[in-house]
Structure 1
Amino acid sequence: MKIKNLIIFGTRPEAIKMAPLVKEFQKNTNHFETRVCVTAQHREMLDQVLHFFKITPDYDLDLMKANQNLYSLTADIISGLKSILEDFKPDYVYVHGDTTTTMAASIGAFYSGAKICHVEAGLRTHNKRSPFPEEINRQVTGRIADFHFAPTTASKNNLLAENINPNSILVTGNTVIDALLASVSIVDNVDNEEIDYLKTIIDSSKKIILVTGHRRENHGQGFNNICEALKEIAEQHLNVQVIYPVHLNPNVKEPVYEILSNISNVNLINPLTYPAFVWLMKQSYLIITDSGGVQEEAPSLGKPVLVMRDTTERPEAVDAGTVILVGTNKERIVSETNNLLINIGHYKYMSALHNPYGDGKACQRIVEFIRTN
């Protein structure tokens, strides 16, 4: 009898990181019946990733709504999954990372009696307010999960410190590297209007600084500081071009456009689809971000990363030297950027460091573990 898998995700980052796992399970149809459920916690950005990876969900809760809040979203996910879990009766449910979809789906799967597999398990800041609500989402999921697919040894050690059974933990590397390495070879040849547009605005004579920022804990003064830092960097270095795909959240968009919209070597653009973003990462000199996924991806492309957060649940990258935490401190962002722009030896050293997040074979390890357990 085939093992029945249900893979659940709801946001663009989850979709990117779960897509290679979906594909790997779908190669193994002799052993597995695999179905995909999306909550559509994000809608448009999620659909772009599904299209790129050629994944058609078997179930779509289509939950995204205007002015969505954590209370209603959590309740809607749990209740929306009930009929799916009762109909399909999966043996294993796979959730990823730290989103509200992750936490709520793990609760629903627990109620159904399925075994819960947590992909990208064990990341911790040990500060329940940072990142919010992601840290608690991870910890709740970690208490519920039956199997923990940890990206690094440090993540495994976090789980062991919480008395998780060591036999339930597998260090896999991060599936985002699987997705990235599969995508890099595609994006140079894909027919993509956004990539065509980016080619028209990029000045090849300049060093490209790619910026992304959206995290809730940076809203307010944090984003004002970030934007003031970027303004100073752009004005100090005319040989630099800042390209910033701006998140649509008004708490992000308003300060970004107010402070940065009239600077000649700053390009504020709409959010990018995954293939266009991968292409732009490849063209960049360095990346300034508050994104967790970018911290993992960029080192595989040899791109130094400055992380605009005070804490990170990905300390391996800090320890390895592939990223530097700068928070939302204007002076720190400017000084660390200046160092990478001016000190070529420092830049070359940082860009050549080994990525601690994996070799692109995480999904193979997960499939083999489930097949043999």
Structure 2
Amino acid sequence: MKVLSIFGTRPEAIKMAPLVRALAAEPGIDSRICITGQHQSMLQQVLDMFELKADYSLDVMRPDQTLNSLTAALYAAIDPILDEMKPDKVLVHGDTTSAMVAAMSAFHRRIPIGHVEAGLRTGDIRQPWPEEMNRRCIDLISDHLFAPTAESRRNVLGERLQGISFVTGNTVIDALHLTAQRIDSNRQLRHALDRQFSFLVPERKVLVVTGHRRENFGDGFLNICKALGELARRDDIQIVYPVHLNPNVLGPVTEHLGDLPNVHLIKPLDYLSFVRLMQRAHVILTDSGGVQEEAPSVAGQAGSGHARCHRASRGSRRGYRTLGGHRDRRDHSRRERPV
């Protein structure tokens, strides 16, 4: 049996790594990887850490690329690979544009599709954008729907989709546990990772922030930065923000937070280093779907910067909070309470 796993972002690689490793260990399965390359350097770090190698690597990313131009490039690049390999099944993960195009490309060739992380819903087709539309499309055409929670499976059952659905748990937690165990069992590695964060003051609580989503570009990031600036006035808090290199993120974050003494803007971290930073955090504020799922397992509190949150069903019982904030700077008053 030939299985092709197609993914392109670092979060996808992290979540697919345990599954791809398991497939590779099966003697009757010819498992191959195609990476679409949205986060090329960060993605390669994950592949190296989990000892995975891409069989196909696409060159489709361009500066200032629109979603439509990316979609067209992905269709043109993926179809020849499907024609050459002729897989018996295509696996995609989540809700990225690359996942949607990969699934549609397989559907057009009548290749069965497996959707990992099926059934997530906000109920608003435009929130998050374009991910909500992407995952609904993928679920609609998938033959096997691997839902992370019972709630996610109820969503796909309620929509009467044709695919067979299963509750599988979330592979990101498998990847997180593998990585955390590696850190916890190796004192030398742990100390080496901690040296990256030597600027931290032990007496102050650590608030880790990540943000990169398209839906927050513009006023969204501006309002988030203003709220974080208000929080940074407190002398018992230190904010660590690994800033995404996208100019729509880097620009406003640097402008509004770069000169504040309690705010540490750092370069994006590899996965191993970021897991260690999460272990040291008291609070994590993020608009990343993957970090929302990881954070409650390692940090004291976790919060979402989404307008609508679709990943809080488990986290809300484990220190998770949905924190609006990209709409209005007054949100800082709500953020202060859990800290």
Question: Residue 169 of structure 1: which of 145, 157, 165 is its match?
Answer: 165
Aligned to 1:34, the other structure's residue is in SS state strand
Tell me the equivalent position of 1:221. 219
Cα distance in structure 1, aligned partners of 2:300 and 2:135: 27
Cα distance in structure 2, aligned partners of 1:218 and 1:317: 24
Cα distance in structure 2, aligned partners of 1:193 and 1:75: 46
Cα distance in structure 2, aligned partners of 1:219 and 1:39: 23
Cα distance in structure 2, aligned partners of 1:336 and 1:194: 35
1:232 aligns with 2:230: yes
Residue 120 of structure 1: how far off its partner (Å): 0.2
Aligned to 1:201, the other structure's residue is in SS state coil
Tell me the equivalent position of 1:335. 333
Question: Residue 179 of structure 1: which of 175, 186, 189 is its match?
Answer: 175
Does structure 1 conserve the Cα–Cα contact (< 8 Å) formed by 2:153 and 2:167? yes
One-letter amino acid matched to 2:168: T
What is the percent sequence identity of the aligned residues?
A: 46
Tell me the equivalent position of 1:367. none
Does structure 1 conserve the Cα–Cα contact (< 8 Å) formed by 2:280 and 2:299? no
Tell me the equivalent position of 2:198. 200
- Map 1:37-186 → 2, pairs under 5 A: 37-165=34-162, 168-186=164-182
Higher helix content, 1 or 2: 1
1:197 to 1:318, Cα distance in 2 relative to 1, 3 A:
closer
One-letter amino acid matched to 1:182: L
Does structure 1 conserve the Cα–Cα contact (< 8 Å) formed by 2:312 and 2:322? no
Residue 335 of structure 1: how far off its partner (Å): 2.8
Cα distance in structure 1, aligned partners of 2:284 and 2:189: 25
- Bigger mean CA deviation after superposition, 313-322 or 113-122: 313-322
Aligned to 2:105, the other structure's residue is in SS state helix
**Unmatched 5+ stretches in structure 2:** none
Aligned to 1:106, the other structure's residue is in SS state helix
Tell me the equivalent position of 2:250. 253
Does structure 2 conserve the Cα–Cα contact (< 8 Å) formed by 1:20 and 1:175? yes
1:124 to 1:286, Cα distance in 2 relative to 1, 3 A:
same
1:284 aligns with 2:281: yes
Scaled by the length of structure 1, what TM-score is found?
A: 0.85
Residue 197 of structure 1: how far off its partner (Å): 4.5
1:208-251, Cα deviation, whole Å (9 max, x unpaired)? 1100111111122221211111111111x212111001111222
Residue 54 of structure 1: how far off its partner (Å): 1.4
Aligned length: 335
Cα distance in structure 2, aligned partners of 1:147 and 1:207: 43
Tell me the equivalent position of 2:267. 270
1:296 aligns with 2:293: yes
Does structure 2 conserve the Cα–Cα contact (< 8 Å) formed by 1:192 and 1:276? no
Does structure 2 conserve the Cα–Cα contact (< 8 Å) formed by 1:92 and 1:114? yes
Cα distance in structure 1, aligned partners of 2:106 and 2:252: 40
Cα distance in structure 2, aligned partners of 1:271 and 1:319: 27
Residue 330 of structure 1: how far off its partner (Å): 2.7
Question: Residue 316 of structure 1: which of 297, 302, 313 is its match?
Answer: 313
Cα distance in structure 2, aligned partners of 1:126 and 1:174: 21
Does structure 1 conserve the Cα–Cα contact (< 8 Å) formed by 2:296 and 2:315? no
Cα distance in structure 2, aligned partners of 1:50 and 1:201: 29
**Unmatched 5+ stretches in structure 1:** 342-373
- Bigger mean CA deviation after superposition, 122-131 or 92-101: 122-131
Does structure 1 conserve the Cα–Cα contact (< 8 Å) formed by 2:284 and 2:299? no
Does structure 1 conserve the Cα–Cα contact (< 8 Å) formed by 2:278 and 2:299? no
One-letter amino acid matched to 1:115: P
Does structure 1 conserve the Cα–Cα contact (< 8 Å) formed by 2:7 and 2:99? yes
Residue 173 of structure 1: how far off its partner (Å): 0.7
1:300-355, Cα deviation, whole Å (9 max, x unpaired)? 114311211220122414653632222223333x23332222xxxxxxxxxxxxxx
Cα distance in structure 2, aligned partners of 1:108 and 1:179: 28
Cα distance in structure 2, aligned partners of 1:336 and 1:193: 35
- Bigger mean CA deviation after superposition, 218-227 or 317-326: 317-326
